């Protein structure tokens, strides 16, 4: 959400109130993409819909086609398709990563991929989780109990500027799609 909020703040002439459509808490959460989209729009009416699918081993175009096939005519939608996983987009700011881990002055090596190579990392989620745990500086039982998923969310909220991601193909495609939809709707 912070990445999408940032993109909208950079490109939209209007203010959007973003909301995450969390369908996991439903008694019977929808399984396939089309049903998830329909249910999300029913429960969370919106002016603009973002649909996220990690590309993983598929081409971005394949995932975009899947999303487009599942979409209805309304509301306008943007496909969010990171090359591997969205976690790759959080690996670019080491100071924020250390802050999210609760050890902003830590000095241990984190072994982060160079920013231009994060999309090529085979498992960005594992890299991010390992980096957060290493950045914490914790050892033993406290290290094993480190709330890594909570810290991933904290990292996303700490980051205020995602412009460094514009060098990445999937992020650039996302921003171009956002601009296209905003322009079509008169919100650019």
Distance between CA atoms of 50 and 1, rounded to whole angstroms?
10
pLDDT digits (tens, 9 = 90+) for 17-46: 989 999 999 999 999 999 999 999 999 999
For 50, other C-beta atoms within 10 Å of its C-beta total 21
Q: In Å, how far are 38, 47, 49, 186 from 75, measured between CA atoms? A: 11, 6, 6, 14
pLDDT mean over 8-14: 93
Q: Report the predicted TM-score, pTM, of the whole model to 2 decimal places.
A: 0.87
SS3 assignment, position 77: strand
pLDDT digits (tens, 9 = 90+) for 130-176: 999 999 999 999 999 999 999 999 999 999 999 999 998 889 999 99
Q: In Å, how far are 80, 87, 91, 116, 161 from 113, measured between CA atoms? A: 22, 12, 8, 8, 19
For 58, other C-beta atoms within 10 Å of its C-beta total 14
Q: For residue 57, what pLDDT is reported? A: 80
H/E segment holding residue 42:
helix 33-43
Q: For residue 156, what pLDDT is reported? A: 93
Question: Is residue 84 predicted with pLDDT exceeding 80?
Answer: no
Question: Is residue 12 predicted with pLDDT exceeding 80?
Answer: yes
Q: For residue 56, what pLDDT is reported? A: 79
Q: For residue 85, what pLDDT is reported? A: 78
Helices (H) and strands (E) in the chain, counts: 8, 2
Phi, psi of 146 (to 5 degrees): -60, 125
């Amino acid at each position: 959400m912070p990445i999408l909020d940032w993109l909208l703040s950079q490109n939209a002439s209007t203010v959007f109130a973003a909301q995450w459509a969390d369908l996991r808490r439903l008694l019977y959460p929808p399984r396939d993409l089309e049903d998830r989209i329909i249910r999300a729009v029913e429960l969370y009416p919106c002016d603009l819909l973002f649909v996220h699918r990690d590309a993983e081993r598929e081409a971005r175009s394949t995932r975009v086609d899947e999303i487009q096939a599942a979409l209805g005519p309304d509301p306008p939608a943007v496909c969010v398709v990171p090359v591997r996983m969205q976690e790759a987009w959080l690996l670019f700011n080491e100071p924020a990563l250390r802050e999210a881990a609760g050890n902003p002055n830590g000095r241990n090596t984190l072994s982060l991929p160079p920013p231009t190579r994060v999309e090529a990392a085979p498992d960005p989620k594992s890299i991010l989780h390992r980096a957060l745990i290493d950045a914490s500086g914790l050892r033993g039982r406290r290290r094993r109990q480190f709330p890594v998923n909570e810290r991933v969310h904290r990292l996303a909220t700490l980051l205020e500027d995602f412009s460094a991601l514009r060098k990445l193909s999937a992020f650039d495609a996302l921003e171009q799609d956002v601009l296209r939809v905003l322009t079509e709707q008169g919100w650019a």
